[in-house]
Chain A
């Protein structure tokens, strides 16, 4: 077996977790391959170094819990509506999508039937050969209905689908016969009004068709078949399609449902709802969604706010509480320099200079090379009225060559103490 296939098993082998079957195979290979043996040796040594390395972690902050609890919102946790139901919802969504695709795909099949039910002429045209149908389409419209597309016209004359615009429907004009491929394309295309470009390109006109369908469906159910087109007209009017069309031959009936008010856009359900006087539910503002307001107020959408949102206790109160916690913690970890360091700060905040000095002294004993500890000791000694000790500690800070700011501070305090001593 090639080395490249086995090398990825060298680390599990070095750690002793390689399965038996692979173990035997790898060992056979290693016996015959110097390159892989060397690689294994190097990996094993690296793992050994890592295993021997002491990489201690930081102690958790003593007040982590209180800080987190101060940041979390005071509201019951809402169990996600999706928790455990995701597969079911996914399946439902997939089924809905498939259904929608099927509906779109079979639309050309459904619509001719509907139109046929409304218009025997259209039905006849759709069933006859294409050439004959084109002849029929090229025939002039009855004079009473005007030459152009009558958007508001009743469907008794074939409806919009059966009518061509004036420019292409001159009397006696023959349209060129479509090629077989074009016929196929047309047969597959949705039955939109041919020659009316706005119906293809304008989304408002597209909505007009949707509104018309929905309105028709509902009107048929309610026995208002004569007003079916009016709904579409009103819809188109409110959406600005009116300007693209000729004036309606017959004005829309005054009675009956109207979409003159606010028209819901988009979903046919909304159109139908508004058309029949249904109440439309207002969209819920984002800020009113559960938990959202709190997120916004804290600037915490999905992004954590960082240290700006850290909540600290009041200084006086915090120092006392922290001292209690830290002293307890110090009993558990007597040599933890983190706890001792925090304790120095806490004593400093509480104004307990002697205690601060004592703890700082412990720190300098634990790590005599740490300039920060000596600086803390010097400051504590100053507060505890021990100027000579403080001066000595500052001198030690200077000797240890700390960061520039600490060095500057130590030098300035040292000068001040020496001047005061003189």
Chain B
């Protein structure tokens, strides 16, 4: 069997045999969300700004989920998310309703974020603990402290975050979306406009690269 055939098999059957099984209720909820989005998009396309405001409320968390893990500071994340929604509003007239609004919006989010990162070219692994930005404390701030959240666990989390920061932007975005935003590879492929095989490939190489950074964790544990 050729590689391409195997890839095709992987693409066609991968989601079917996924370990995450969607229940009927979840599927219904997802569809109703899709319908609600569609209705809001229709209203926004007719110039109803409040409908777009509702779309912002519904999707801001997901957009922040991607953007905030890709940039160093809260200000940058805020600005980028604003830019993403403003760009989405400007382009909403061209949105074709046969696609999911969330996929379309996340494509804009990823493109704007990657473009911004390329422009800035200043990602550094130490900046996460930079006292001037205080991102590490900001990130920690969102997790409610609990007794189980030991110092060792926090150090471990920060080490993994630093390792993820060392990846290339394209690898990092798929790692963030897949492992921390729980996107399937098919969904990521839809957002990034690439093949599912490409997404798996990026994840594979990202894992190989992370392995070098995380060896000490394995030894420690």
A residues with CB within 8 A of B: 5, 7-12, 15-22, 42-43, 45-47, 49-51, 53-61, 64-65, 67-69, 71-80, 82-84, 291, 300, 304-307, 310, 333, 335-338, 341, 366-367, 370-372, 402-403, 406
Contact = CB atoms under 8 A, between A and B. Distances in A.
A304 B10 contact: no
Interface string B171-211: 00001100110000100000000000100110110011011
Given A58-B138, A306-B83, A16 B75 contact: no
Interface in B125-179: 131-132, 134, 137-145, 153, 156-157, 160-161, 164, 175-176, 179
Most buried by B among A17, A64, A76, A82: A17
Contacts of B39: none
Given A50-B210, A53-B157, A65-B56, A12 B90 contact: no
Contacts of B207: 11, 43, 46-47, 50
B32 interface: no
Given A17-B17, A335-B145, A54 B153 contact: yes
Contacts of B40: none
Nearest to A308: B79
Interface string B1-44: 00100100110111111110000000000000000000000001
Contact of B75 (A8, A17, A73, A307): A307
B160 A22 contact: no
B112 interface: yes
B118 interface: no
B94 interface: yes
A404 to B, nearest CB: 9
Interface of B is mostly: helix
Nearest to B16: A19
A304 B179 contact: no
B136 to A, nearest CB: 10
Contacts of B93: 77-80, 83
B10 A15 contact: no
B218 A45 contact: yes
Contacts of B117: none
A39 B157 CA distance: 24
A61 B68 CA distance: 11
A84 B64 CA distance: 30
Interface residues of B, number: 81
Given A55-B157, A57-B69, A69-B49, A12 B10 contact: yes
Contacts of A49: 160, 210, 214, 217-218
B155 to A, nearest CB: 12
A72 B87 CA distance: 9
A15 B53 contact: no
Given A72-B49, A335-B145, A403 B161 contact: no
Nearest to A43: B207
B102 interface: no
A60 B64 contact: yes
A71 B86 contact: yes
B137 A77 contact: no
9 nearest CB pairs, A to B: A76-B47, A337-B141, A19-B13, A304-B83, A58-B68, A80-B94, A53-B160, A16-B19, A403-B131
A22 B10 contact: yes
A77 B92 contact: yes
B189 to A, nearest CB: 13
Nearest to B157: A54
B85 interface: yes
Given A8-B204, A18-B17, A76-B47, A56 B142 contact: yes
A69 B53 contact: yes
A45 B216 CA distance: 12
Contacts of B131: 371, 402-403, 406
Contacts of A337: 137-138, 140-142
A72 B64 contact: no
Nearest to A7: B204
A369 B75 CA distance: 23
Given A64-B78, A72-B90, A19 B17 contact: yes
B214 A59 contact: no
Contact of B81 (A8, A54, A60, A77): A60
A53 B156 contact: yes
